[in-house]
Amino acid sequence: MPLITLHFTPALLLLVLTCAQVSQSMPVMSKGPLKESCVLYAKTLLQSINDTLAKIKERDCNVELNMATNTTSACAPKESKCSGIVKSEFDQESCLTNIGEDLHHYHEFLAARTDDQRSQASNVLSRIRELMENCFSWSLPIDVSKGAASQDENPFDRRLKFCKVLTGFQVRCITINRAIAYMNSGEHTK
Ligand SMILES: *[C@@H]1O[C@H](CO)[C@@H](O)[C@H](O)[C@H]1NC(C)=O
Ligand SMILES: *[C@@H]1O[C@H](CO)[C@@H](O)[C@H](O)[C@H]1NC(C)=O
């Protein structure tokens, strides 16, 4: 997955990347308003990322965001301005597909970390699966086959990478929370 390292704070990133583009697709369900429970699952996921970030050692890191998805632009609310263009339609399927790909990407990354980091992220991993299973009608296999990849990094780089990606996930998860709340509100179907 292409990743990019940016030297910005998460808050700034949210503004800068409001219209980020790129990616490939995956099957997804749902047309009508999203269930209320999905709003809670998404919030619980964000909470677990926050809790995990609060516990890790290297906390002062850059943000590495998943650039392989279009979540921010695909999930921008109707009538919002993206790159100066007013979006008149909201494509729920496209938004959900992008969110699904993000969740899949971060699940793979976290599940592939070696023991200590995987156990630090175990709560985040469960929360991702919970959201996927209840709101996206697919379940995620627990794939640890790529764990070896992170063995090559030295301990400092491993911790830094973990911090960067997790901080990127926090930024993305805030966007996901907003999008899910929007799709639950029914505003997008009006
Ligand atoms: C993301 O955007 C690119 C370029 O606009 C498009 O080709 C791709 O299909 C989009 N991906 C998804 C998952 O919507
Ligand atoms: C998680 O942290 C972000 C960034 O500090 C904050 O905006 C958000 O409200 C927090 N969310 C929860 C559910 O704790």
Query: pLDDT tens-digit profile of 106-147?
Result: 999 999 888 789 899 999 999 999 999 899 866 555 555 555
Pocket probe for ligand 2: among 174, 176, 177, 178, the residue whose CB has the most ligand atoms within 8 Å is 174
Q: Is the pLDDT of residue 181 over 80?
A: yes
Report which protein residue has its CA nearest ligand 2's atom 2: 50
Contacts of 22 (CB under 8 A, 6+ apart): 2, 67, 68, 69, 70
Cα–Cα distance measured from residue 111 to residue 36, given in angstroms and rounded to the nearest whole number:
28
Q: Ligand 2 atom 14: the closest Cα is on which residue?
A: 47
pLDDT at 6: 47
pLDDT in the model for residue 170: 97
**In 23-133, beta strands by DSSP E:** 63-66, 81-82, 85-86
> With contact defined as beta carbons under 8 Å apart, do 150 and 113 qualify?
yes
**Bridging pattern class, strands 85-86 and 63-66:** unpaired
| Highest averaged pLDDT of the listed ranges 23-32, 100-109, 135-144 | 100-109
Task: For the chain, give the mean pLDDT.
Answer: 79
Length of the chain in terms of residues written = 190
% of residues, the chain, pLDDT over 70:
72
CA of 68, nearest ligand number? 1
Q: Which ligand is nearest to the CA of 166?
A: 2
Other Cβ atoms within 10 Å of 80 Cβ, number: 15
- State yes or no: pLDDT of 28 exceeds 60: no
Residue pair 38/135 in contact (Cβ under 8 Å)? The answer is: yes
A 10 A CB-CB count for 168 gives 26
Question: CB burial class (10 A; 0-12, 13-18, 19+) of residue 83?
Answer: exposed
Give the residue, out of 40, 43, 46, with the most ligand 2 atoms within 8 A of its beta carbon, to mutate for a pocket test.
46
- How far apart, in whole angstroms, are the C-alpha atoms of residue 12 and residue 31? 32
Ligand 1 site, residue 74, Cβ cutoff 6 A: yes
Q: Is 44 exposed, middle or buried (0-12, 13-18, 19+ CB in 10 A)?
A: middle
* Listed residue (180, 179, 165) closest to 66, CA to CA: 165
